[in-house]
Amino acid sequence: MGEHTIVVLGRFEAGKTTFIKTLQNAASVHEAPAAEEEPPTLSIVEYEVTLPDGQSLTFVDTPGFDGYHPDGPPAKTTGEILEMLREHLAKNGLSPVSHVLVLHNANDMRPTDFKRKRSSGVHHHPLGPDRG
């Protein structure tokens, strides 16, 4: 179990698994094999990354939102993915989530998507009250 638990969320094909594996390879003292095309992530997958200073990070990879899987199960909804994540964290006793990264495919975004939007109201932690 890592000292920090980092959940990585994003749309299907946003590069979540590739991002995590790139970090894992960069932190490794061994030369990594050439990157291969990744199959879609269909469940919650944990990756441990040990930094050169010995600090340990646990990255929690998630299925992509709106993912399409040819000849596979239907895509999971955002709610289903968050519920899978909540169950996984509870079952595996991971330390509280310290960071959440949301990856976007820049090719899918309009310039206006980069502007910070203000919102009002009460914000609830997506993983439940005991995770906030």
Tokens of 59: 């990255």
Question: How confident is the model over 9-23, as pLDDT tens digits?
Answer: 998 888 899 999 999
Domain count, the chain: 1
Containing structural domain, residue 12 = 4-108
Helix and strand numbers (H, E) in the chain are 2, 4
Residue 127 pLDDT exceeds 60: no
Look at residue 127 and tell me if it is in a domain. Answer: no
Confirm whether 20 is domain-assigned.
Answer: yes
Q: What CATH number did the domain enclosing 20 receive?
A: 3.40.50.300
* pLDDT mean across residues, the chain: 78
- Residue 100 falls inside a structural domain: yes
Give a yes or no: residue 125 inside a domain.
Answer: no
Could you tell me if residue 130 is inside a domain?
no
pLDDT for 34: 57
CA 49 to chain CA mean position, Å:
14
Indicate the pTM of the whole model: 0.74
Q: Which residue stretches of the chain are H helix?
A: 16-27, 78-92
Asked if the structure places residue 11 within a domain, the reply is: yes
Which one-letter amino acid corresponds to residue 30?
A: H
| pLDDT given at position 91 | 92
Q: Measured between alpha carbons, how far apart are the two ends of the chain, in Å?
A: 19
